[in-house]
Amino acid sequence: MRKNKIRKLVSISLAMLTVLSFTACGSSSKKTDTATLKDVSFPLKETATLKMLTSAPSISTQDPNERIIFQRLEKETNVHIDWTCYTDDQFPDKKNLALSKKDTLPDVVFNAGMNNNDLLRYSKQGVIIPVEDLITKYMPNLSKVLEEKPEYKKMITAPDGHIYSFPWIEELGSGKEAIQAVGDIPWINKKWLDELGLQVPKTTDELVTVLKAFRDKHPEGKTDVIPMSFIINAVGGNEDPGFILGAFGLGDNGDHYMVTNDKKVVYSTTQDGYKEGINWLHKLQEEGLIDPEAFTQKWDTFVAKGKNDRYGMFFTWDRANIAANKDDYIPLPALAGPNGTVNATRSNGYGFDLGRCVVTSANKNLELTAKWIDKLYDPLQSIQDNWGTYGDEKNQNVFELTENKTLKHLQLGTASPWEVRANQFVSGPLAVLDSYYGKYTTSPDDAQERLDILHKTYVKDMKADYNYPPVFMSQEDIEKLTQYETAVKAYTERKKAEWILNGGIDEEWDSYLKEMDNQGLSKILEIKQKYLDLYFAK
């Protein structure tokens, strides 16, 4: 699996890929002015053209029309797409520039990567249009998805009642069994445990004993052992040690929001159990059991030490990204703390992207556009758009098309799953539901391994019945939330690092809570609670 910050396994959101260069690309095929079409059915008798803006990973072709998936779509529909394409690192700026010029707007922004605020802002400016009527009239595939899973309709509907975008949906398990349920899995070196005759720890005290043995007994004759490593406050939270704080209470996750079982929103870093957990991590730091670089290191440094077999334990989404031999490491179960508390802390991750595709006000062929996009929500099409395809003579294939016309994931060998898929998938608006596995496709091997780990190791210890769902806020509330969140998150994460390194949380706790409120935490929780209540009320 790819780097956790940008690669939550299988959940491939182009806006988060690591990109190295910039290239603009467009189709060199004929461009024809397409009159407004009515009663559209595919394939069209005459070729029609739509103009679309998109992004692509730099490791693959920069012309979407070279991708076999789009070639097949053009053949099936007789709709030619005139693409303007940028690599992902350049796409946000190029997208903003393109949408600032109303006289040259594309018809569609394909991998739009728009959040709530973007959608409301661009709709208010008249740049993008509502699409709920298009869904009702022309999009039976998407309508079926929203009927089968009505929660997604709630997620894509703005407070004003409009729908402004077509979503990306990738289900791999749900609720506590969802693949995103735990991001920062603690991985412990089973090879070293066996060599030293140690059992897998079940409590925080037992873990301390194991980490000291890693430090003092030089497994495999190593003199540069790092008992525990992480990246404090890692973007996305997957390399942060917050999960292990569940032994002291609610634990911590990447955005620090927790939902109690009575449906109340709380902030993890203001809970008493958090204070106890930070004190415990500080003691590990004093004992020399934590990587000194854990508070400053970047991803590449973190990975390099892992590939050199230096870690007794580390936190990340996928051990294969860090370990030289992933089979040397096993997931560490949720530990019992000093008071016997055992809690596998849930993240707020979802396989969902609200603003994946939008239609602009320049589009004069709405029926054609809606019906073309709806083809992307066909189950077999969505599966390929998300991961890759079959029958590609230029690239390694992701799937085999079976005699029953289902898609079977192929073994990818030693190749990086991310790189293989990046050469074929197109992402964009799509839906892969749990009901598709076994009916239309198989589960990817790397995803299934993770789902099995969650099921066997963590689900039983997840005390939280809920996590915070994707909700569509008003522009006013988004702006308030952004203002307060920036200050609160920066302050709490700075103090977290300071306290683990230097101690002092007990002495500063009361003043810290007061400052969190001064920075706007109570206002944040009020807004978050408002939308959680609305979510459960619908």
Q: Are residues 290 and 375 in the same domain?
A: no
Quick one: what percent of the chain has pLDDT higher than 90?
88
Q: β-strands 407-409, 399-401: how paired?
A: antiparallel
Domain-terminating residue out of 420, 436, 452 = 436
Highest mean pLDDT pick, 14-28, 32-46, 149-163: 149-163
24-54 as b/e, with b when 16 or more CB fall inside 10 Å?
A: ebbbeeeeeebeebeebeeeeeeebbbbbbb
pLDDT of 237 > 80? The answer is no
431 and 382 in contact (C-beta within 8 Å)? Answer: yes
Residue 368 domain-assigned (yes or no): yes
Q: Are residues 288 and 373 in the same domain?
A: no
pLDDT of 21 > 50? The answer is no
- Would you place residue 172 in the very low, low, confident or very high pLDDT band (cuts 50, 70, 90)? very high
92 and 113 in contact (C-beta within 8 Å)? Answer: yes
Domain-terminating residue out of 436, 461, 496 = 436
Residue 231 domain-assigned (yes or no): yes
Q: Are residues 404 and 524 in the same domain?
A: no
pLDDT of 114 > 70? The answer is yes
Residue 118 domain-assigned (yes or no): yes
Domain-terminating residue out of 436, 459, 485 = 436
Q: What is the rounded distance in angstroms from the CA atom of residue 109 to the CA atom of residue 117?
A: 16
Tokens of 60: 């693959």
pLDDT at 412: 87
- Would you place residue 59 in the very low, low, confident or very high pLDDT band (cuts 50, 70, 90)? confident
Q: Are residues 38 and 92 in the same domain?
A: yes
> pTM for the whole thing?
0.86
Cross-strand partners of 407: 401, 441
Tokens of 120: 């409301």
pLDDT of 260 > 70? The answer is yes
Q: What is the rounded distance in angstroms from the CA atom of residue 222 to the CA atom of residue 70?
A: 52
For the stretch 385-419, pLDDT in tens is 999 999 999 999 999 999 999 999 999 887 778 88
Residue 441 domain-assigned (yes or no): no
Q: Are residues 293 and 381 in the same domain?
A: no
Q: Are residues 245 and 298 in the same domain?
A: yes
pLDDT of 525 > 80? The answer is yes
Q: What is the mean pLDDT of the chain?
A: 93
Cross-strand partners of 185: 316
What does residue 356 show for φ and ψ, rounded to 5 degrees?
-75, -30
Q: What is the 3-state secondary structure (H, E, C) of 220-259?
A: HHCCCCECEECCCCCCCCCCCHHHHHHHHCCCCCCCCEEE
Q: Are residues 22 and 113 in the same domain?
A: yes
For the stretch 142-163, pLDDT in tens is 999 999 999 999 999 999 999 9
pLDDT at 465: 97
pLDDT at 34: 59
Q: Are residues 326 and 355 in the same domain?
A: no
For residues 508-514, average pLDDT: 98
Q: Which residue has the tokens 């003691």?
A: 283
pLDDT at 31: 42
Which residue from 170, 186, 204, 199 is spatially nearest to 345, judged by alpha carbons? 186
Q: What range does the domain containing 408 cover? A: 14-175+351-436
Residue 199 domain-assigned (yes or no): yes
Residue 40 domain-assigned (yes or no): yes
Q: Which residue has the tokens 């609720």?
A: 175
Q: Are residues 223 and 114 in the same domain?
A: no
Q: What is the rounded distance in angstroms from the CA atom of residue 407 to the CA atom of residue 364?
A: 36
pLDDT at 236: 79
Q: What's the CATH code of the domain at 277?
A: 3.40.190.10
Q: Are residues 274 and 363 in the same domain?
A: no
Q: Which residue has the tokens 């059992």?
A: 199
pLDDT of 482 > 80? The answer is yes
Enumerate residues 6+ apart whose C-beta is below 8 A from 234: 5, 184, 240, 254
For residues 78-84, average pLDDT: 98
Q: Are residues 205 and 320 in the same domain?
A: yes
Number of domains the chain is built from: 2
- Render 397-435 in DSSP notation, one character per residue: -SEEE-TTS-EEEPP-TTS-HHHHHHTT---SSEEE-GG
pLDDT of 434 > 70? The answer is yes
- Would you place residue 512 in the very low, low, confident or very high pLDDT band (cuts 50, 70, 90)? very high
Residue 7 domain-assigned (yes or no): no
pLDDT at 413: 82
**Residue 460 identity (one-letter amino acid):** K
Residue 452 domain-assigned (yes or no): no
Q: Are residues 154 and 31 in the same domain?
A: yes
pLDDT at 4: 42
pLDDT at 89: 87
